[in-house]
């Protein structure tokens, strides 16, 4: 194919000016982008209001697509369910019998726990969820990992509250709009979750790697005691995440920690639960109020 | 009487020809609208735990720019990037900056290359998209998160493959853009 038509303006003064103006406008756009970018890098919440408003506006589209997703998932589940119904049934019956006895034990431990905590006067919120909502979108093209939640200020959601699904931890609320909220997924590079191995008292931090895995760093350095298949749960340090919520399963052991697969893939969970901050003792006080005892 | 000679295949797809003319509004607004709508991709059913979806809105911008040079003004990158920034999860301003630079860059490439063809357009688009994804990742890693260029390689490869398909979509949208919907007289 031949070259595109020549867009050089020739001798026309007006065309020259038009071309010049469009270059000026484009460079001004780039400069504006640079300034805005620097501002938002220095202060990440500077433009939260614009994002929240835009997401509130576009939320209905996300709700529709979230419904489509759960519909599509159940369709596949129905088919695969028919194929492996028999063997699964027998296996589930066995598991149920074991689970019943475990549940009884767990209830006993829970009541004992409640009694002991009352003795110690530990300040923490009960597990009543703040809201239940769908994840209506995610930053699927960016290397940052955010999800959009279909509930916001209206539903009592505040920044910092942890988000979990039935399977495990999903992330925490970062910015809140009127009807939507942005969730920092635990797989994002900025997210750090204090974790503990289910068996044995080994604690560490799980940091996101933006590719669906977490990197686990142990607090006590030395011989790495981790094995493939170890399950990590939240430890409750820091007071943000409620303890004993499943986070990740170890996939590869590294020299001083492990690479772990997240337990709760946000794509697989239809509804997520927003919980209150576990131990809200580190609330920031207004400095003008004067010292509080 | 046959008008076969001056007709593109499929150009009768959307409307009748006699006594009709393309609407100026529609002809202008379609590229803007399609790129803005593609910015809503983060609200799609895909909840990804890794960046895998090609940057559709940016690819549409590149595609429109290569297929119909001069249709989008040189400064179109800034307002369209602003819309994309609202939904993409990148630090605010990253698309405003990078899309503006991409528009200026493609204008310069256009002045430099003296020929035009499928393979060359694909190559130019691939280079532009790959540099965009890389720079976007650099900006995202400054804002927080690890710098791991290996992370975006699957996304870059997917974008390379998807681009020719996207140009076909743009060609159909171009027919819609020039649909004869205005009644003359």
Closest chain A residue to B39, measured at CA: A141
Interchain CB distance below 8 Å, A3 and B155 = no
CB of A212 less than 8 A from some CB of B: yes
CB of B155 less than 8 A from some CB of A: yes
Residue B38's pLDDT band (cuts 50, 70, 90): very high
B5: in domain: no
Residues B72 and B31 sit within 8 Å (Cβ to Cβ): yes
B76-80, B94-98, B150-154: least confident range: B150-154
Residue B3's pLDDT band (cuts 50, 70, 90): very low
Residue A136 has pLDDT above 80, yes or no: yes
What does the block give as tokens for B91?
């630090």
Residue A138 has pLDDT above 80, yes or no: yes
Pick the CATH number of A46-83+123-279 from 3.50.50.60, 1.10.3210.50, 3.40.630.30, 2.40.10.340: 2.40.10.340
Interchain CB distance below 8 Å, A23 and B104 = yes
Tell me the average pLDDT of chain B.
85
Of B46, B115, B144, the CB nearest to A140: B46
B24: in domain: yes
Residue B124 has pLDDT above 70, yes or no: yes
The DSSP symbol for A250 reads E
Residue B4's pLDDT band (cuts 50, 70, 90): very low
Of A7, A29, A38, the CB nearest to B100: A29
Residue A74 has pLDDT above 70, yes or no: no
Q: What domain count does chain B have?
A: 1
State the residue range of the domain holding B18. 13-183
What integer pLDDT is reported at residue A28 of this predicted model?
93
Residue A58 has pLDDT above 50, yes or no: yes
What integer pLDDT is reported at residue A24 of this predicted model?
92
The backbone region for A255, taken as left when phi is positive above 0, alpha when psi lies in -120 to 50, beta otherwise, is alpha
Residues A188 and A143 sit within 8 Å (Cβ to Cβ): no
Residue B10 has pLDDT above 60, yes or no: no
What integer pLDDT is reported at residue A129 of this predicted model?
85
**CATH assignment at residue B137:** 1.10.1760
Residue B12 has pLDDT above 70, yes or no: no
pLDDT greater at residue B124 or residue B13: B124
CB of A118 less than 8 A from some CB of B: no
Q: Which residues of chain A form beta strands (DSSP E)? A: 131-138, 146-149, 162-164, 169-176, 181-185, 192-197, 203-208, 213-218, 231-234, 246-254, 257-262, 271-274
HSE-CB at A156 with a 13 A cutoff on CA atoms is 10
Interchain CB distance below 8 Å, B143 and A144 = yes
List of chain B residues whose C-beta atoms are within 8 Å of the C-beta of residue A208: 145
Of B43, B79, B81, the CB nearest to A136: B43
Measured CA to CA, the distance from residue A144 to residue A210 in angstroms comes to 7
Measured CA to CA, the distance from residue A248 to residue B31 in angstroms comes to 44
Q: Which residues lie closer than 8 Å to A42 by C-beta, 6 or more apart?
A: none
Domain boundaries, chain A: 46-83+123-279
Pick from A244, A230, A63: nearest CA to A169: A244
Cα–Cα distances in angstroms (integers) from residue B87 to residues A65, B29, B80, in the given order: 15, 21, 12
Residues A161 and A168 sit within 8 Å (Cβ to Cβ): no
Query: How far is B87 from chain A, CA to nearest CA, in Å?
Result: 7
What integer pLDDT is reported at residue B156 of this predicted model?
94
Query: How far is B10 from chain A, CA to nearest CA, in Å?
Result: 21
pLDDT greater at residue A125 or residue A205: A205
Q: 3-class DSSP state for residue A198?
A: coil
B4: in domain: no
- Residue B20 is inside which H or E element, if any? strand B20-21
Measured CA to CA, the distance from residue B162 to residue A91 in angstroms comes to 44
What integer pLDDT is reported at residue A83 of this predicted model?
74
Q: Is the torsion defined by CA of B90, A57, B159, B67 positive or negative?
A: negative
Tens-digit pLDDT profile for residues A5-46: 556 667 788 888 888 888 999 999 999 999 999 998 888 888
Interchain CB distance below 8 Å, A265 and B95 = no
What integer pLDDT is reported at residue A116 of this predicted model?
78
HSE-CB at A271 with a 13 A cutoff on CA atoms is 7
Residue B9 has pLDDT above 70, yes or no: no
Closest chain B residue to A189, measured at CA: B145
What integer pLDDT is reported at residue A292 of this predicted model?
43
The ipTM assigned to this model is 0.81
The backbone region for A58, taken as left when phi is positive above 0, alpha when psi lies in -120 to 50, beta otherwise, is alpha
Angle value at C-alpha B167, between B163 and B172, nearest 5 degrees: 150
Terminal-residue alpha carbon distance, chain A = 80
pLDDT (mean) for B4-33: 71
Q: For residue B9, with 0-12 CB atoms within 10 Å meaning exposed, 13-18 middle and 19 or more buried, which class applies?
A: exposed
Pick from A162, A139, A174, A178: nearest CA to A243: A162
Residue B115 has pLDDT above 60, yes or no: yes
pLDDT greater at residue A29 or residue A237: A29
CB of A49 less than 8 A from some CB of B: no
pLDDT greater at residue A285 or residue B62: B62
pTM: 0.80
């Amino acid at each position: 194919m031949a070259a595109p038509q020549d867009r050089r303006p020739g001798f026309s003064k007006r065309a020259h000016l038009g071309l010049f103006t469009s270059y000026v406008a484009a460079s001004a756009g780039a400069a504006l982008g640079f300034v805005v970018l620097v501002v938002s890098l220095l202060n990440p919440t500077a433009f939260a209001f614009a994002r929240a408003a835009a997401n509130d506006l576009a939320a209905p589209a996300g709700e529709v697509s979230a419904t489509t997703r759960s519909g599509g998932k159940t369709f596949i589940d129905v088919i695969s369910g028919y194929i492996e119904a028999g063997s699964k049934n027998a296996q589930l019956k066995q598991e149920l019998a074991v689970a019943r006895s475990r549940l009884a034990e767990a209830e006993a431990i829970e009541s004992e726990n409640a009694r002991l905590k009352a003795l110690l006067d530990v300040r923490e919120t009960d597990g009543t969820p703040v809201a239940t909502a769908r994840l209506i979108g995610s930053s699927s093209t960016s290397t940052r990992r955010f999800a959009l939640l279909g509930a916001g200020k209206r539903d009592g959601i505040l920044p910092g509250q942890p988000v979990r699904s039935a399977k495990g931890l999903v992330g925490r609320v970062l910015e809140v709009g009127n009807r939507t909220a942005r969730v920092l997924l635990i797989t994002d590079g900025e997210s750090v979750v204090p974790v503990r191995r289910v068996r044995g008292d080994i604690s560490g931090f799980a940091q996101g790697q933006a590719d669906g895995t977490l990197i686990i760093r142990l607090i006590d350095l030395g011989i790495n005691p981790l094995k493939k298949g170890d399950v990590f749960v939240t430890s409750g340090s820091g007071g943000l995440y409620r303890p004993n919520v499943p986070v990740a399963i170890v996939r590869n052991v590294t020299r001083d920690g492990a690479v772990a697969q997240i337990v709760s893939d946000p794509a697989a969970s239809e509804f997520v639960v927003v919980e209150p901050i576990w131990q809200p003792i580190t609330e920031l006080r207004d400095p003008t109020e004067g010292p509080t005892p | 009487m046959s008008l076969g000679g001056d007709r593109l295949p499929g150009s009768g797809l959307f409307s009748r020809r006699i006594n009709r003319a393309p609407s100026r509004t529609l002809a202008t607004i379609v590229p803007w609208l399609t790129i803005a709508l593609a910015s809503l991709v983060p609200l799609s059913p895909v909840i990804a735990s890794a960046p895998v979806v090609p940057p559709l809105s940016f690819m549409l911008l590149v595609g429109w720019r290569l297929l119909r040079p001069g249709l989008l003004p040189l400064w179109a990158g800034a307002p369209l990037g602003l819309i994309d920034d609202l939904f993409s999860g990148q630090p605010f301003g990253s698309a405003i900056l990078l899309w503006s630079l991409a528009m200026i860059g493609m204008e310069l490439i256009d002045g430099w290359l003296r020929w035009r063809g499928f393979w060359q357009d694909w190559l130019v688009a691939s280079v532009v998209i790959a540099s965009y994804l890389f720079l976007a990742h650099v900006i995202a890693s400054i804002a927080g998160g690890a710098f791991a260029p290996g992370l975006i390689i699957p996304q870059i490869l997917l974008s390379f493959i998807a681009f020719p398909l996207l140009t076909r979509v743009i060609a159909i949208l171009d027919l819609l853009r020039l649909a004869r919907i205005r009644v003359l007289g």
